[in-house]
Amino acid sequence: MVDQNINQVELSRICGVSRSTVSKWMSGDSEPTKARRNEIAAILNLQENFFEEIVIPVEKIETLSVKEVAKLMGLSVPTIEKGLIQEKFPWGYAIQTSEKKHRYFINAKRFIEYEM
């Protein structure tokens, strides 16, 4: 609305709805119908699908344990941990959780791409 130089009062007048309705839309308490969203997009000279939700598919990232990777690479667990801490491997990383502890993340797909 800022880009269009229009406020909630003007939008409510243009759409023929109450100011409280527009306020609820803006706060996320309610949502205009698809037809109303298309109408608002037309009024504001936006693409018809401007207000459509973008759905990003969420898929679980398969991981490997440090122990599994060490076995596959023929290296010791401490060597893999050190490599992850030092950011030597493109397929994983370490997150320091306390002064002497780390959590490790190894992306199985990337590991296979690089090492297998």
In the chain, the number of structural domains is 2
Do 1 and 18 fall within a single domain?
A: yes
Do 46 and 70 fall within a single domain?
A: no
DSSP-derived 3-state class of residue 9: helix
pLDDT, tens digit (0-9, with 9 covering 90-100), for 8-52 = 888 888 888 898 998 888 888 888 888 888 888 888 888 877 877
Do 54 and 70 fall within a single domain?
A: no
State the CATH number of the domain containing residue 23.
1.10.260.40
pLDDT score of 46: 84
Do 44 and 75 fall within a single domain?
A: no
Q: What pTM, to 2 d.p., does this model score?
A: 0.52
Give the residue numbers spanning the domain of 7. Answer: 1-58
Among candidate residues 54, 56, 76, 52, the one with its CA nearest the CA of residue 66:
76
